[in-house]
Chain A
Amino acid sequence: MTSPTPLIGVSSPMLKIKELINHVAQTCLNILITGETGVGKGVVARSLHAESNRAQNNFVQINCAALPETLLESELYGYEKGAFTGAHKKRYGKFLTADKGVLFLDEIGDMPLSLQSKMLHVLQSGEFSPLGSDQDYKTDVWVIAATNQCLEENIKNKTFREDLFYRLNIIKIDIPPLRERPEDIPALIEYYFKRYLPEHPNTKALRPDSRTMERLCSYHWPGNVRQLQNCIKKQMVLSSWDKIFEELPNDAYGTETSSSEINSPGHSTGAAFHSSEHQLDNDPGNRRLSIISEFVDLSTSSEKLFEDISLKKIKKLASDKVEKEVIIFVLEKVGWNRSKAAKILKVSYKTLLYKMSEFDVNPPMS
């Protein structure tokens, strides 16, 4: 096993997270780690394990989104020989292998509701029974969960149990996206350079010069640290920052970067909005108006107009509009098979149904 990635960052939110880890790792209270994809939720979980008094015991990870429901259940709790067709021998679940250690439940927001209630029971009682077994096992696991979803929203949509949420959310560690802490980027680049250089002894890859570094720091990194990490991996092979920039999605900044603009709070909305935002910045005013007019009636007096404009409202209208189109697009591709569509869209089946009814999306009449 390679040594775990340390938590890298000098920005104040990252320093605060390190301090928080340091203060709570010994408590072994349930922890919920939130943040966009690629921000390092797994790294935080491993740091918690490493600093706790369970560091000598197992760190067991399971991705709740990667497995179908029945498989997830047997992975978590194990099964007895003969519990179901194909269960040729007894298998221990993650709850048993993580005993006295840490069980890291990644993508907890994707856990099916039926398993959520079983999970809640285990968290409350510390007891579980493998599939096909009538024996109760006692388990002492420290549960750390992570998600990139807004569980509060999922609770409203009835796709996540509120009582389970409160059970997990005893301590919450929210990791901000990389674009909100660009001061961490140089340290991350240095770390991954050092890590990948030995794997590419003949590489001609150079570390970024100051101009390149500025550009890297002002990019919005929709895929966060993982995306940056992949860029450094690529740089080992390509040895050309220009090529790296060419391949970065939505890099509408060109050569003239203006970091002040990119770091402004307005840009810290969802990643999906960055592309259109940057087009807005680059295109003439009428293009901007035409986009705005889709969501706000521009023909009224400016007084009335300013009353109507609310970033929150517009954000909702805009995201609804795009989501609806994407949902229809995917549903059409899969012949209106909703469970397939939900998988592709990476949302739960329930969320998809909820959104379909919210946006009034219906299959074509046959």
Chain B
Amino acid sequence: MANPARLLIVDDNEDILSTFYEFFNSLGYEVKTAVDGFAALKILRDKPDYFQCLITDLVMPNISGVGLISIVKKEYPDLKTIAMTGYGDHPGALASEAQADIVIFKPVDLFKIERKVAELIGYKED
């Protein structure tokens, strides 16, 4: 890829975070990670307009994924958002709160997410 797509991935589970990082990195994406919504918000405020897609867990300490997505929709409307919701935390109630472009249920299929990411930012690029 001449101009690598830039992703921000947020999850409070470090294992998930590193798995995502490795996977997207190996496919040529430029990946930044954050362990909670607040850390992610600070990265976004530091580099507005830098990222093209945000992939976030929903249940996290301090700023939840729902909160992060609401802020992003308001402050960075061009940033595409994918919400991931876990098996343990009653996805129905939570997913309905999130206004993400796409909601994905865990356990996630990484290749499927990659296709969604490509679709989301691809349409915009072309």
A171 lies within 8 A of chain B by Cβ: yes
A162 to B88, CA, bound (A): 13
Q: B97, A167: Cβ atoms under 8 Å?
A: yes
Number of A-B contacts (CB under 8 A): 46
Tell me whether A170 and B66 are in contact in the complex, defined as CB-CB below 8 angstroms, given that A27-B74, A162-B90 are known contacts: yes
Q: What's the minimum C-beta distance from B102 to chain A, rounded to whole angstroms?
A: 19
A163 to B95, CA, bound (A): 10
Q: For chain A residues 141-185, which have a beta carbon within 8 Å of chain B?
A: 162-163, 166-167, 169-174
Q: What's the minimum C-beta distance from A258 to chain B, rounded to whole angstroms?
A: 32
Q: What's the minimum C-beta distance from A160 to chain B, rounded to whole angstroms?
A: 12
B67 lies within 8 A of chain A by Cβ: yes
Q: B94, A166: Cβ atoms under 8 Å?
A: yes
Of the candidates A20, A163, A172, A174, which one forms a contact with B64 in the assembled complex, judged by CB atoms under 8 Å apart?
A: A172
A23 to B71, CA, bound (A): 11
Q: A171, B61: Cβ atoms under 8 Å?
A: no
B42 lies within 8 A of chain A by Cβ: yes
Contacts of A162 in B (CB 8 A): 90, 93
The interface size bin for chain A is 10 to 19
A163 to B91, CA, bound (A): 11
Contacts of B62 in A (CB 8 A): 20, 171-174
Q: B61, A170: Cβ atoms under 8 Å?
A: no
Q: For chain A residues 4-48, which have a beta carbon within 8 Å of chain B?
A: 19-20, 23-24, 27, 29
Of the candidates A19, A166, A170, which one forms a contact with B93 in the assembled complex, judged by CB atoms under 8 Å apart?
A: A166
B113 lies within 8 A of chain A by Cβ: no
Q: What's the minimum C-beta distance from A144 to chain B, rounded to whole angstroms?
A: 13
Q: What's the minimum C-beta distance from A40 to chain B, rounded to whole angstroms?
A: 17
Tell me whether A166 and B66 are in contact in the complex, defined as CB-CB below 8 angstroms, given that A27-B71, A29-B71, A174-B61 are known contacts: yes
B31 lies within 8 A of chain A by Cβ: no
B41 lies within 8 A of chain A by Cβ: yes
Q: For chain B residues 49-81, which have a beta carbon within 8 Å of chain A?
A: 61-64, 66-67, 70-71, 74
Tell me whether A27 and B97 are in contact in the complex, defined as CB-CB below 8 angstroms, given that A171-B64, A173-B62 are known contacts: no
Q: What's the minimum C-beta distance from B42 to chain A, rounded to whole angstroms?
A: 7
A169 to B66, CA, bound (A): 9
Instruction: Tell me the interface secondary structure of chain B in the complex.
Output: helix
Contacts of B93 in A (CB 8 A): 162-163, 166
Contacts of B96 in A (CB 8 A): 163
Q: B26-59 vs A: 1/0 string, CB under 8 Å?
A: 0000000000011001100100000000000000
A174 to B37, CA, bound (A): 14
Q: A169, B64: Cβ atoms under 8 Å?
A: yes
Q: What's the minimum C-beta distance from B41 to chain A, rounded to whole angstroms?
A: 6
Q: What's the minimum C-beta distance from A20 to chain B, rounded to whole angstroms?
A: 6
Contacts of B67 in A (CB 8 A): 24, 27, 29, 170-171
Of the candidates B42, B61, B90, which one forms a contact with A172 in the assembled complex, judged by CB atoms under 8 Å apart?
A: B61
A172 to B66, CA, bound (A): 11
Q: What's the minimum C-beta distance from B44 to chain A, rounded to whole angstroms?
A: 10
Q: What's the minimum C-beta distance from B105 to chain A, rounded to whole angstroms?
A: 16
Contacts of B97 in A (CB 8 A): 166-167, 170
A186 to B3, CA, bound (A): 54
Of the candidates B41, B45, B70, B74, which one forms a contact with A170 in the assembled complex, judged by CB atoms under 8 Å apart?
A: B70
Contacts of B38 in A (CB 8 A): 19-20, 23
Q: What's the minimum C-beta distance from A340 to chain B, rounded to whole angstroms?
A: 34
Q: A245-270 vs B: 1/0 string, CB under 8 Å?
A: 00000000000000000000000000
Contacts of B71 in A (CB 8 A): 24, 27, 29
Q: A24, B63: Cβ atoms under 8 Å?
A: yes
Tell me whether A170 and B90 are in contact in the complex, defined as CB-CB below 8 angstroms, given that A20-B38, A27-B74 are known contacts: no
A19 to B39, CA, bound (A): 11
List of 5 A-B pairs having minimum Cβ-Cβ separation, nearest first: A170-B67, A163-B93, A171-B67, A162-B93, A166-B94
- Give A contacts to B, CB under 8 Å: 19-20, 23-24, 27, 29, 162-163, 166-167, 169-174
Between A and B, 27 residue pairs with Cβ closer than 8 Å are A20-B38, A20-B63, A23-B38, A24-B67, A24-B71, A27-B67, A27-B71, A29-B70, A29-B71, A162-B90, A162-B93, A166-B66, A166-B93, A166-B97, A169-B64, A170-B63, A170-B64, A170-B66, A170-B70, A170-B97, A171-B37, A171-B62, A171-B63, A171-B67, A172-B61, A172-B64, A173-B62
